[in-house]
Structure 1
Amino acid sequence: MSYQNLDGKVRVRAGLSTTYSVLAIAIASATSMSAVAAPAAKNETTVMETVVVTGSVIGNSDIEDVKEYPGARTVITRDQIEKTAAGSIDNALQRVPGIKVQDESGTGVLPNISVRGLKASRSGHAQFLMDGVPLTLAPYGHTGQSIFPATLSMLDRIDIVRGGAAVQYGPNNVGGVINLVTKPIPHTWQTEISNRLTVFDGGDAPLNDFYLRTGGWLSDTFALQLEGNFLKGESFREHSDTDVKNFQAKAQWLLSDTQEIQAFLQRYDAETQMPGALSPQDYEQDRHQSKRPYDDYEGKSTRWSVKYIHDLPFADSAELEVLTFGHKSERLFKWGFNSAGGHWADPALHATDVRTSPREFTVYGIEPKMAMYFGEGKSVTQNWIVGTRYVNEDIDYKLTQTPIAGGATKVPRDWHLDTDAFAGYVSNEIGLFNDTLKVTPGLRVESVRMTFTDRGKKQTADNKVTEWLPGLTVAYNVTDQWVTYANAQKSLRAPQIAYIRGLGEEGSELAWNYEVGARYTQDATSFNAALYRIDFEDQLQWQSSTQTFDNIGKTLHQGLELSARYVPEVLPALSLGASYNYLDATLEEEGANKGNQLPYTSKHQLGWDATYAFYGMDTTLSGFYFSDSYTDNANTSAEDATGATGKVPSYMVWNFNLGTDLYKDDKGKLRMNVAVNNLFDEEYYFRGIDTSPVGRYPAPGRSYTLDLNYQF
């Protein structure tokens, strides 16, 4: 029989007469490291009836998983990444409806990603996974991605799930889940070498991205893949030297016809200068310059995971999965600080001190879960998912300040947070009328105990949070092409270390998420429309200017997302894509700012791409548009002299890509892509970014890219 494992992978189990080798190969046809194919079987198998046991609500993060998914969802394939000239993960997300990116570097090292109006700073309200494993520094106590240990060259696709996944994937799932899927282990040994060279208008040196991958099946039961990615050079700004090294190794071992182990190991090192914001006057004079000579960043992370999968002989189909994961990470921001009067971050003023924020993270987690399928061949089916997870987080959180003119170093903060978090979840996808209607009730419970220590003040405080988080999703297959869906789920973001700091018991940020929509899929043509609403209670907002969290109370995020892909039958060489998002994100707490638009949120967003293939070449014109936004809760329109407040103007960016195979045969191929990003050199900027929150933070201008990829 064929069925899906806990990550949605299709497997084929042959009849009893099949040899062990063939069974092992069949199991290897898919793993959590994406669609891994094993060596070709020598014996023929008889495929029996199909039973599907789905132990992951997002399945395999593949295009096929989107078709009947009961919520708004987008999968960006490797082909789309290439054709839209994306040079980084955050750049690849720009055209997804509901996602907004503040690109502070042009290199993708420190992405700032907002989902449906939730704050973008260090992507702290976006839950990132890599192959289904949490990517964040600390899933509970520090959700900000101040280390982002992922590079675009290593990814096969990106799955953006905006709604419907909160029961299984938590916490910090208010804005949904973004799953980064790495490249699969190929069924025969394969090596890939690529080099991407980008030159920015106004830049002093190019940015080079070199990638190497080699891997395959060493035997019928063991597969291995090794990867290295090296990013070095500068972006379009002064003071932007970048050096990133990313190494990954993954393995799969088939223990028997019903058991397997998957392992992953990563080492990530990043160093980058941070050019910072500019005063309005300096921006108009030269947007490529930098006035923040002391701003730098370093990050290091060692990550690992091991997954054990066992197919169990009960129910119509069942599977046990045990995932263990962990990482040890450290990062250091350094920035200029003015303590002589005026705003500390005003780029027009000279810094008097240098501040650093060294932080260390040690995280360990274990998550056993089971999927059970009942009702094979019946009009009513049930797909149960039951799981639990334990996570321990150990965070060291410091802040130092050293006078530039010389003197003693002060340590304003020396904090420690130890977190023990237990979660349990259960859901049951009930299929009615031969799976035409699927109703999935679910429940998640989070119990989090945090111990905060202020080492400087020699104070310790405990903080405990327990929340019950129900969810319900419904999908109705109107026809083979049309699916309507609705979902409602309660989500949380646990108290952050920078907010707890011994102030007493602090509760979580809580939100109810609602969606209703419809999706059409016919071959390569598709359409999706979704209405969404997020009711947020006690939302915390990081104030970069004061370096503190403010509780802004209730906020409301609601809107409409549209996306479409059209490939004409009469002209299959043409592919057209478009997306639109309307977002109304407002403050709802009583006070002078009630009803005002949340900072940095754009009411209107557009994305588009058009690809035409001719004479062996693919040409793509793509782009995105975001309407203007405010910088503060008061919705101040006029820009002040420092650039700390005022509207952020709208912007529209066009990209062009030309791709072709220079060489191709049965043994390998050499492909070339030539791209121009920001084709018309749109000059736009952001505000309020982390360690340089005052002024205009320039976005990347026009750049030219040559990408060569050889696989053999």
Structure 2
Amino acid sequence: MNRWHDVFFTMHLRILFLFALLAFTSAGVDHASAQGDGASAGAEPRQKMHYQIAPQPLNRALRDFALTSGLQVSFPDDMTLGHTSREVAGSYTPEEALSELLAGSGLSFRFTNADTVTLERAHPSSVSQAQAGDDHPSVPEAGHAGSATTSPGVKPVVVPEIVVKDVHERNEPDQESVKDIAGTVNVVTREEIQRARPKNADEMLRRIPGVNVLDEYGQGLRPNIGIRGMDPRRSKNILLLMDDVPIQPALFGDASTYYMVPIERIDHIEVIKGGASVLYSPNTQGGMINFIQKWIPTTPTFSTTNTFGSFNLFQSDTQYGGYFGNFGAQMGYLRRQSDGFRDRSKSQLDDFTLRFEANPDDRTRITTNFSYYNETTQTPGSLTPTQYRNDRTLAGKPLDEFKGQRTAVDVTASREIDAHNTAKIIVYGNVFERNWYVQDQNATTGALLQTSTNFLRKFNVFGVMPQHQFKFSLFGLDQQITSGVRYHAERLTDIQGIGTAGSKISRTTNNADLESVAYAAYTETAIRLTEAFTISPGIRWEQVNQSRETMNAVPPVGGNFRNSKTTQGLIYGTGVKYQLTPDSMLFGHVHTTFRPPTFANAVDPTSGTTQDLEAERALSSDIGLRSTIIPGVSAEVAVFRTEFRNQIVQQGSAFVNAGKTLQEGIESTVSLDWGEMVRPLQGFVTRGSITLLRPKSLFGATNGKDLPYAPRMTFYGLVGYYHPTGASIEADAMYIAQQFTDGANTQAENALGTNGAIPSYTIWNLRLNYAPPKAKWAIFAGVRNLTDESFIAQRTTASFIGIQPGEIRNFYGGVSWRF
């Protein structure tokens, strides 16, 4: 334990020393003041209106400005990074208000037409003028590009991302605020999701560097997601949230995920890697994925999107809602059905949603979500190597079926008490029932038997999360403290039965109730030591009480039992941000993470004996740089390391905290907007991300071997062209290097296909979209797995013995409209 703390504090002090050194050596970096562009002679000023915009991250302030002024504001996502706005309170023209908001940011603005403002980085001459004391520069006439401070050679910013597009979409969640966290943070934007027209969330998550997603029957209904070398199977090593509410059915008892949020409900996706904040726990050793739902449009709107594709794919997403005064309501219905690319892999999904938003006053917001999800899917099992080579669309198990139902409700209320205090509370609950009817197989030969094992599970979850945020000024700099507590309770009724293959009637062989009650308290402080240097220490306490009670009609030899176990621990760490220049930020963090024993490990399911186990603890750190190198070229690079020294592993017949593993590597993302560099190439965009990983076991017979399902290299690349008429074309590719499926790194495939390396593969996709700027309709089409790459998605054992093939080439197309 002493060695653990020594390692933690050594790395902690190294990163703090590095950032402190950079802070002092770069103290002379000046931040340019923002200016509005000058007006042509005789320009008439716009009418004044009342603005009430509090000091806040600049991207949020610009959103508030757009909503008040009715103007559209355009800028690249990374342009406002690290900037905070001044307070704007009173009567101003739009030009005056925007000049105040941008003051000190190094940004200027220009009107590209009567209703659209484009932000740019200030020309040196405007910086000089600002420093000379011109606090209120002259402003341009709407529609004029001329400027008294911008030379004719400076071209306007043209970007595909738009902050405010039209009145129907102005009520949108902020997709930039998560980047305030001092660590590696990635966002899949709403624009990316809109253009991709994805079938499921897996398609979008594969774009994120460091994320490895295993396919399962090509449906994306059972997520298998790993981050930075963590085992992706059933997403056990990450935390999955929707609007900060956990979606894993047994978060503390067994984080296996059998439900995935329909991508149609999602505005954007936030990914925080390596436990970079104590605001989130448990299971953040790989990272946290937060799906942010779409908000209700300002104006009552009916919208529908219908997609048709290969294997009788049909997706229909219909929504109606809007604001009526200070109250917003929206209802939605999603239908998704497909025969699947394999025999006996038909799926049918229905998802009903209701959302209410209320703003009783300017300081209060209340959001309520209701949802009902119903799914029936045929699961065709795995194939032998011979079956896979002859026809990878076959069904290995033609009688298996999965049924899932989920009913959920959550309420989020936030209140700005005063200029310094904000309170928020989230109350959530859900009931998830999943029944999986699985035909048995001979473990040695893989032959199908005439019996089935039926896994009948029901999860009940309830939680409350109050949070308080306190903002204050110290040494003339804005500071912030975020504190909160959480109560979370979950109950799993686990019934297992034996029946005839293909039958849903079975004889109960195991009946158990498993419960977890968890408490947490945390505080995290953002301390600004200078305008550019912020340190974010945090600490969190977790306690989990787990119990297991068996209720078998025919008790085992030792009889039925009830027993419990309590696990607790501290999570702590520090994040650091340093704004090197207005366009570059250095960031890093060192944190511990917390993963309690699962139900199966906490209390022995056979004897009822309480296992003497601690929570798995990891030491996670990274350091990286996020920068706009030149206009049109942005990049991010991060070096990361996650080390476990007490993973729960089996030794003989007992479980012990003896597992030691190390995941370390480097990941990078580069985005090129060619039109900002070469005017004739306006509309062309290139993006790429790569992860190089060294995943190692550090104990026992597997010492020095690669960890299972941890490819040493992953790559994602995209090339797109976006025409002003609304037409666009995108081609992307995903490369996954070789993966091992066991700790021994067995290379050769065995007779059943359950073991052996998974060869590397590359998947290409093509997408076409046409959405005229002022039209209320759009059409789209695409091809997934364009080259029909034959690849192994995963190798499976136990209930599914053999090879699960990846999805074959398939086509889709559709239309959307709103009014």
TM bucket, shorter chain: 0.7 to 0.9
Are 2:596 and 1:596 aligned? no
Q: Do 2:341 and 2:807's aligned partners in 1 also have CA atoms closer than 8 Å?
A: yes
| Contact 2:645–2:661, Cα closer than 8 Å, also in 1 | yes
Counterpart-to-counterpart distance in 2, 1:379 and 1:693: 62
| Residue aligned with 1:478, SS | strand
Taking a change above 3 Å as real, the CA distance of residues 404 and 133 of structure 1, as seen in their structure-2 partners, is: closer
Secondary structure of 2:449 counterpart: coil
Which residue of structure 1 lines up, in the alignment, with residue 317 of structure 2? 211
Kept after mapping to 2: 8 A contact 1:382/1:429: yes
Structure 2 residue 280 is matched with structure 1 residue 174:
no
1:142 to 249, 254, 263: 254
In the TM superposition, what is the alpha-carbon distance from 1:402 to its structure 2 partner?
Answer: 1.9
Alpha-carbon separation, structure 2, partners of 1:613 and 1:342: 55
Alignment-derived partner of residue 437 in structure 2 = 334
TM superposition shift of 1:311: 1.6
| Residue 107 of structure 1 pairs with residue 219 of structure 2 | yes
Which runs of no fewer than 5 residues in structure 1 stay unpaired? 15-20, 23-42, 52-59, 200-204
Tell me, yes or no, if structure 1 residue 558 matches structure 2 residue 664. Answer: yes
How many Å separate the matches in 2 of 1:196 and 1:534? 41
User: Does the CA contact (< 8 Å) of 1:137 and 1:143 recur in 2?
Assistant: yes
1:463 aligns with 2:565: yes
Within 5 A, what are the aligned runs for 1:134-533? 134-148=246-260, 150-163=261-274, 165-199=276-310, 205-219=311-325, 221-313=326-418, 316-338=419-441, 342=444, 346=446, 349-375=447-473, 378-404=475-501, 409-434=506-531, 436-456=532-552, 457-500=559-602, 501=605, 502-505=608-611, 506-521=613-628, 525-533=633-641
Q: Distance in 1 between matches of 2:390 and 2:661?
A: 38
Query: Matches of 2:428 and 2:503 in 1, distance apart?
Result: 44
Q: In structure 1, how many angstroms separate the alpha carbons of the residues matched to 2:373 and 2:704?
A: 43
Q: Secondary structure at the match of 1:599?
A: coil
Cα 1:2–1:12 shift into 2, 3 Å: farther
SS of 1:631's equivalent?
Answer: coil
Instruction: Flag the structure with higher helix content.
Output: 2
Question: Post-superposition shift, 1:664?
Answer: 5.7
Query: Does the Cα contact within 8 Å between 1:685 and 1:699 map onto a contact in 2?
Result: yes
Aligned CA distance change for structure 1 residues 518 and 466 (closer, same or farther; 3 Å): same
Inter-partner Cα distance in structure 2 for 1:5 and 1:410? 61
- Kindly provide the amino acid, as one letter, of the partner of residue 710 in structure 2: T
Residues 269 and 406 of structure 1: is their aligned pair in 2 closer, same or farther, counting only changes over 3 Å?
Answer: closer
Q: Identify unmatched segments of 5+ residues in structure 2.
A: 1-51, 69-89, 103-171, 553-558
After TM superposition, give the deviation of residue 550 of structure 1 in Å. Answer: 9.2
Q: Is the 8 A contact 1:400 1:409 kept in 2?
A: yes
Aligned residues between the structures: 656
Aligned equivalents of 1:191, 1:175: Cα separation in 2: 39
**CA displacement at 1:122 relative to structure 2:** 1.7
Q: Once the 2 structures are TM-superposed, how far is the Cα of residue 118 of structure 1 from its aligned partner?
A: 1.4
Query: Alpha-carbon deviation of 1:218?
Result: 1.2
Q: Secondary structure at the match of 2:600?
A: helix
Shift, 1:257, TM fit:
3.3
1:227 maps to amino acid:
G
Alignment partners' CA distance in 2, 1:184 and 1:13: 15
| CA drift at 1:74 | 1.4
Structure 2: how far apart are the matches of 1:405 and 1:107? 22
Equivalent of residue 567 in structure 1, options 669, 673, 680: 673
3-state SS of the aligned residue for 1:284? helix
Measure how far apart 1:132 and its partner are: 1.7
User: How far apart are residue 63 of structure 1 and its match?
Assistant: 4.7
One-letter amino acid of the counterpart of residue 2, structure 1: I
Give the aligned partner of residue 242 of structure 2.
130
2:749 maps to 639
User: Max radius of gyration: which structure?
Assistant: 2
Secondary structure of the structure 2 residue equivalent to 1:139: coil
CA-CA distance at 1:508 after TM superposition: 1.7
Evaluate the alpha carbon distance shift between residue 257 and residue 617 of structure 1 in structure 2; reply closer, same or farther with a 3 A threshold. closer
**Hey, what does 1:2 align to over in structure 2?**
53
Corresponding residue SS for 1:265:
strand
C-alpha separation in 1, matches of 2:245 and 2:695:
30
d(CA) in 1 for partners of 2:374, 2:646: 36
CA contact (8 A) 2:200 2:263 kept: yes
Tell me: CA distance 1:240–1:83, structure 2 relative to 1, closer, same or farther (3 Å).
Answer: same
Shift of 1:225: 1.3
Deviation of 1:559 (Å): 0.8
1:379 Cα deviation after fit: 3.6
SS in 1 for 2:192: helix
Q: Deviations over 1:476-519 (max 9, x none)?
A: 00001110111011111222123333341332221111111111
Paired AA for residue 587 in structure 1? S
* Map of 1:654 onto structure 2: 764
TM-score normalised to structure 2 length: 0.75
Give yes or no for contact 1:68–1:483 (8 Å, CA) kept in 2.
no
Residues 612-662 of structure 1: per-residue CA shift (max 9 Å, x gap): 13464211110100111111111111111111111101000010111112x
In the superposition, relative to structure 1, how do residues 404 and 236 fare at CA in structure 2: closer, same or farther (>3 Å)?
A: closer
> CA–CA distance in 2 between the matches of 1:693 and 1:594?
28
Residue type matched to 2:763 in 1?
A: V
User: What SS does structure 2 have at the residue aligned with 1:592?
Assistant: helix
| Equivalent pair of 1:277/1:692 in contact (CA under 8 Å) | no
Q: Is the 8 A contact 1:85 1:676 kept in 2?
A: no
Give 2:719's aligned residue.
Answer: 610
1:652–1:85 distance in 2 versus 1, CA, 3 Å = farther
The offset of 1:551, in angstroms, is 6.9
Residue aligning to 2:689: 579
- Counterpart AA for 1:451: S
Question: Which residue does the alignment assign to 1:37?
Answer: none
Q: Identity over aligned residues, as a percent?
A: 26
Going from structure 1 to structure 2, the CA distance change for 1:363 and 1:540 (only over 3 Å counts) comes to same
What's 2:790 paired with? 683
Change (3 A) 1:565 1:61: farther
Contact 2:181-2:277 within 8 A present in 1 as well: no
Bigger RCO (CA 8 Å, 6+ sep): 1
Shift of 1:524: 5.6
How much is the aligned-residue C-alpha RMSD, in angstroms?
A: 3.0
AA in 2 matched with 1:81: I
TM-score by length of 1: 0.86
Give 1:210 shift. Answer: 0.6
Question: Equivalents in 2 of 1:159, 1:105: separation in Å?
Answer: 25
* Corresponding residue SS for 2:601: helix
Distance in 2 separating the partners of 1:198 and 1:551: 49
Partner AA of 1:477 in structure 2: Q
The reply to whether residue 697 of structure 1 matches residue 811 of structure 2 is: no
Aligned-partner residue type, residue 324 of structure 2: L
SS at match of 2:177: helix
TM-superposition CA deviations, 1:140-162 (whole Å, max 9, x none): 112111122x1112211111111
The 2-side partners of 1:691 and 1:253 are apart by 49
Structure 1 residue 88 displacement after superposition: 1.1
SS at match of 1:492: strand
The Cα of 1:384 is off from its aligned counterpart by: 0.4
State the distance in 2 between where 1:228 and 1:405 align. Answer: 31
Distance across 2 between alignment mates of 1:215 and 1:163: 38
Provide the rounded CA distance (Å) in 2 between the counterparts of 1:524 and 1:66.
23
Closer/same/farther in 2, CA of residues 67 and 367 from structure 1, 3 Å limit: closer
**d(CA) in 2 for partners of 1:422 and 1:198?**
46
2:274–2:642: 8 Å Cα contact kept in structure 1? no
Task: Give distance in 2, aligned partners of 1:420 and 1:126.
Answer: 20
